[in-house]
Amino acid sequence: MSRPLILVTNDDGVNSKGISALIEIAQTFGDVFAVAPNGPQSGKSHAISLEKPIGVSLLLKSDTLTKFSCTGTPVDCVKLALNKLMDKKPDIILSGINHGSNSSINVIYSGTMGAAIEGFMDGIPSIGFSLLDYNEDADFSACKHYLGKIIDMALNMEDALCLNVNIPKLASSQIKGFKFCRQADSNWQEEFVPVDEINDFDFYWMKGSFVNQDYEQDTDEWALDNGYISIVPIEFDFTEYKALENLKNIEL
């Protein structure tokens, strides 16, 4: 097999420490093609730019690493990479390493995971990585060994998968290993803090507190709380099949 081609992206921006760490890990596996936002795009979920054009600028090009900055969302970056910038389909897409958790319900808000899911929708194995440390100067060194193992697994699987990988904020020696999990049932409770009044608009900062209601041992939250790296396989079929079975009996 020739050297794999790896598309790397994220939602914290092309200059974040997390994507630099991920590119470094990815380069031990193959040639890296990075297309990432030119600024923070956290919380952008699966958003795409329909109302404005998307800009892209080449930052760096060598035999083994190409790097673009993009004005769009993380999903825009993946679409642009796959449909315009890359000469051939990547063997895998890696998104992150996110500065902060994308476990449980966070997956739905996450730009990191939006990008990974977009790649998977095109049949490409995709992994989103997140470290449970929101600091922009977070220490990603503990990740390297473990992330390499997951990338190696995903590259060698028969069927493409999309994986949501979260890493506890622990020293490498304290990490107990991996757990394959389901998404815990959790949500956010928001508070709106008034900041300004401009014309007829009252402006608020949205602040949230994460609330987990699900402490079962098969969840990602349990794994992370207990020193494991959580790996949740992700799908993009939103159909609630159990409800569908019941609805079929209804006469409307």
Footprint on residues 111-170 left by a second copy (CB under 8 A): 114, 117, 121-122, 149-150, 153, 159, 161-162, 164
Chain centre distance of CA 25: 16
| 3-state secondary structure at position 134 | coil
Selected range binding a second copy among 24-32, 90-98, 124-132, 200-208, rule: CB under 8 A: 200-208
Rounded to an integer, what distance in angstroms lies between the CA atom of residue 20 and that of residue 220?
A: 25
Minimum CB–partner distance for residue 97 and a second copy (Å) = 18
Minimum CB–partner distance for residue 73 and a second copy (Å) = 8
Minimum CB–partner distance for residue 108 and a second copy (Å) = 5
Is residue 54 within the footprint of a second copy (CB under 8 A)?
yes
Among 24, 136, 202, 216, binds a second copy (CB under 8 A): 202
Among 171, 200, 209, 217, binds a second copy (CB under 8 A): 200
Residues 222-251 that bind a second copy (CB under 8 A): 231-241, 243-244, 247-248, 250
How many residues form the binding site for a second copy (CB under 8 A)?
82
User: Which one, 3 or 39, has the nearer CB to a second copy?
Assistant: 39
Is-contact 102 134, C-beta < 8 A?
Answer: no
User: Which one, 22 or 107, has the nearer CB to a second copy?
Assistant: 107
Residue burial 208-229, b: 16+ Cβ < 10 Å; e: rest: eeeebebeeeebbbbbbeeebb
Instruction: Annotate 154-196 with three-state secondary structure.
Output: HHCCCCCCEEEEEECCCCHHHCCEEEECECCCEEEEEEEEEEE
Rounded to an integer, what distance in angstroms lies between the CA atom of residue 231 and that of residue 220?
A: 7
Minimum CB–partner distance for residue 249 and a second copy (Å) = 9
What binding mask, one character per residue, do residues 20-39 give for a second copy by CB under 8 A, x or -?
A: --------------------
Is-contact 199 91, C-beta < 8 A?
Answer: no
